[in-house]
Amino acid sequence: MRPGENYEVSPAAVECDEALLKLDRSIDWLHHLSPTGNHERWDAFKASGYREAPSLTYPKVEIDLEEARRELQSLPITDVREPRFQALLRAKQAELNLQLELLAQRDKAGFQAISIELFGGVEAVLLSDAKRILETAPVGENIPEEVGAEEIAGEARAEIDSYREAAPDIWAEVHVVDDLNSMMMVNHGHLYIDRDSRLPEARLCPLIAHEVGVHVVTRYNGFHQPLHLFEAGTAHYDALQEGLGTFAEFVAGFLPPARLRVIAARVLACEAALRGEDLPSIFSLLKEEVELPEHDAFDTAVRALRGGGLTKDACYLRGLKGLLEALAAGEDFETFFCGKFDLGHLPVIRTLLEEGFLEPPLILPAFLNREGAAKRLDLARTIDLADLYQEEPCP
């Protein structure tokens, strides 16, 4: 792949880019902040009458944090000649340094401050948006969960295989594992599914659209950009990725109000964690006032308390709101699949595409080919955030 004629990827840029990608993989903060023993913790909490909060345990941090810091600071970013590349690489360097500090502060007093610097806090307008959704979106009835982990994995593998004609080197793998901190998650381009996962059949395609159609596809397209920074993700890319993933569920045909309520409830849980509320009190808020099913309430509370108060879960609603605003302003939806980037970097992304440095996406998500997807995408350009749900699966 060759950059546009207005650009030259200097040796310093290549060196920094490769080193940052390697460090991004080794830090793996998401893995190190994913609690272990989740099923046992739920059983113990339930047995206590929802009164006693079991402690959160995590995988051991294997990386040498100080050595990683030294490696980060030694990168020759000042030697990168192209100003925009230098700015993007420097911002990623700073983000990775914060991720190292996040791991160093796990379960310590400084954790929340670092989390807020990395992922943002819970600003008043976001909290207001979340409450508005919870006041207006119907609770809905429970839908039978007919699909298990192996069937989910089979559908995910089939979707990944469907990209191979256009992307023969796509490397994503699907793993069914024990004791995952969520039903599904993509980490470094691979999909992990909790062995105990069950979901309604109508939600299977939308969740595959989220995990594979967004997280796997954007990482693959980013890998094929001249800078692998777009594979790892530019600094603070999380909000757009998670907003884009949630939005994909809508375009794929079934984002039920209960799902939008969970996304909003995560904001309330993060805000409560920042106020120092404990697991029983956050669980009670989500179960009694928000009316989440009890296991969803527990899972949402635990996610907000990871490490001492992880604010990443507020990114889903923030990213979804920012994406809708960009679409309302006429942004081309395909642009969001060039790689993983922060919404604030969108003007730079546009310029790099126009000048030929960045390539358009090599592959686009399969959910865009579903019946009615184009109409749902057009609808989303005018829809209010609180109305972004479907009470019935689209035909």
pLDDT digits (tens, 9 = 90+) for 5-36: 556 788 999 999 999 999 999 999 999 999 99
pLDDT digits (tens, 9 = 90+) for 178-192: 988 789 999 989 999
* DSSP track, 346-365: HHHHHHHHHTTSSPPPSS--
- Which tokens belong to 276? 């120092």
| Model pLDDT, residue 311 | 98
Cα dihedral sign, 100-103-104-110: positive
**Alpha-carbon distances of 234 from 219, 266, 332, 360, 361, rounded to whole Å:** 11, 24, 19, 17, 16
Confidence of residue 3 (pLDDT cuts 50, 70, 90): very low
| Model pLDDT, residue 9 | 84
How many residues belong to the chain? 395
- Which tokens belong to 167? 């992307």
Confidence of residue 175 (pLDDT cuts 50, 70, 90): very high
pLDDT digits (tens, 9 = 90+) for 254-299: 999 999 999 999 999 999 999 999 999 999 999 999 999 999 999 9
Helical segments of the chain, H only: 11-27, 29-32, 38-47, 65-73, 83-104, 111-119, 124-136, 149-162, 201-208, 217-223, 229-232, 238-252, 257-274, 279-284, 294-305, 315-328, 346-354, 373-380
Cα dihedral sign, 315-357-338-158: negative
Query: Residue 147: which H helix or E strand, with range?
Result: strand 147-148
Q: How far apart are CA 266 and CA 257, in angstroms?
A: 14
pLDDT digits (tens, 9 = 90+) for 203-242: 999 999 999 999 999 999 999 999 999 999 999 999 999 9
pLDDT digits (tens, 9 = 90+) for 339-385: 999 999 999 999 999 999 999 999 999 999 999 999 999 999 999 99
| Model pLDDT, residue 208 | 98
Q: How far apart are CA 126 and CA 277, in angstroms?
A: 19
Cα angle 63, 67, 73; round to 5 = 125
Please check the confidence at residue 2 and state whether its pLDDT lies above 50.
no
Q: How far apart are CA 25 and CA 178, in angstroms?
A: 22
Q: Model's pTM, two decimal places?
A: 0.94
Q: How far apart are CA 267 and CA 271, in angstroms?
A: 6
pLDDT digits (tens, 9 = 90+) for 55-85: 999 999 989 999 999 999 999 999 999 899 9
- Which tokens belong to 93? 């360097």
